[in-house]
Each structure stands twice: as C-alpha cells, then as structure tokens.
C-alpha cells in the first residue's frame, strides 16, 4: 500500500500559560496555520476545561488538526494529519510554533497507509530547542564537566 497521508505529532514545551489557556488565540493560530499550509477548513470545534486547558479541533477537507493544551505545564500536544499532496503539514507546524513560541519541541513524522512499503517503519523524530534554552543547557553541561574534572 502506498503512503496516503502525512501525520505530524508535535510536543511543544515551555509555552506561555496565558497563550495555552486562550481559546481565541489558539483558534487564530490554527486558522492561520490552515490557510498558510494550503489546507481547507471545514469546521472548528473546541472545549474549554476548568480551571484551565482546552482541546481544539480543526476538521479539514484533507483530514484534521488538533491541539490539546496543559497551561499549568506549559505544554501543548499538536496533531496534524493530511492526505493528498497539495497541503503542507510541516508549514502548519511552523506557523503554530510561531504563535505558541515553545522553548522546546519534539516532532514525529509518520507516514500513514505505509504498511510494508518502507524498510524502516520507525517514525522520524526531530527535536528543537529555542536558542536561549540551548545556551542555558550548554552552560549547565560545562559547569558539570568542570566540577567533575576537579575531583
């Protein structure tokens, strides 16, 4: 069976509480992502949890996009699944990143409908860290290394 769809799952860490708890902001981000990624929005639905958090779903002619937010953790779970060749799920993810401004992301690319046609069925995973976070992590590693070399 040939590949029938591209499915990107994205874990976004270090997002603002206010952004992740704002339905209108998340909706605007998703609608913008749909438009810029050459997708067709059929319907938009959401549920706002109390005391915080939301789930938003964009039903697309090409499939769907969803976001589940956990503002208290600064975390958003994003799903973008598209069928066909004209849409750009990678572009949709880039637009969502520009709105949500995560410090760190983990993106997994899954080829749907690909059973048996690829040698390696493991999803391709890409991790990115915002530049400031990268500097902080590097500094911590250098200090750790220096403290070990003295002992």
Active site residue: 63, 64, 66, 109, which one?
63
Q: Residue 37 contacts by C-beta under 8 Å, 6 or more apart in sequence?
A: 87, 88, 89, 90, 91, 92, 95
The answer to whether residue 83 is catalytic is yes
Q: Where are the beta strands (DSSP E) in 30-146?
A: 41-48, 54-60, 63-70, 75-83, 104-112, 124-129
Per the CB < 8 A criterion, the answer to whether 129 and 146 are in contact is no
What is the CA 10 to chain-centroid distance, rounded? 3
The answer to whether residue 109 is catalytic is no
Measured distance between the N- and C-terminal CA atoms of the chain, rounded to whole angstroms: 58
Q: Round to whole Å and give the CA distance between 33 and 92.
A: 4
Token pair belonging to 128: 């990115």
The answer to whether residue 64 is catalytic is no
Active site residue: 68, 86, 117, 144, which one?
68
Active site residue: 16, 32, 83, 128, which one?
83
Catalytic residues: 63, 68, 83
């Amino acid at each position: 069976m040939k590949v029938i769809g591209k499915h990107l799952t994205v874990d976004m860490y270090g997002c603002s509480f206010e952004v992740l708890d704002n339905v209108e902001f998340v909706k605007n981000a998703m609608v913008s992502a749909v438009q810029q990624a050459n997708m067709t929005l059929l319907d938009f639905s959401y549920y706002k949890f109390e005391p915080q958090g939301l789930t938003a779903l964009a039903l697309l002619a090409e499939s769907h996009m969803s976001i589940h937010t956990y503002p208290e953790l600064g975390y958003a779970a994003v799903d973008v699944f598209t069928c066909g060749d004209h849409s750009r799920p990678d572009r949709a993810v880039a637009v969502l990143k520009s709105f949500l401004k995560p410090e760190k992301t983990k993106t997994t690319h899954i080829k749907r409908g690909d059973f048996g046609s690829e040698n390696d069925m493991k999803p391709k995973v890409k991790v990115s860290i915002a530049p400031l976070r990268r500097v902080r992590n590097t500094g911590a590693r250098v200090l750790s290394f220096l403290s070990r070399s003295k002992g």
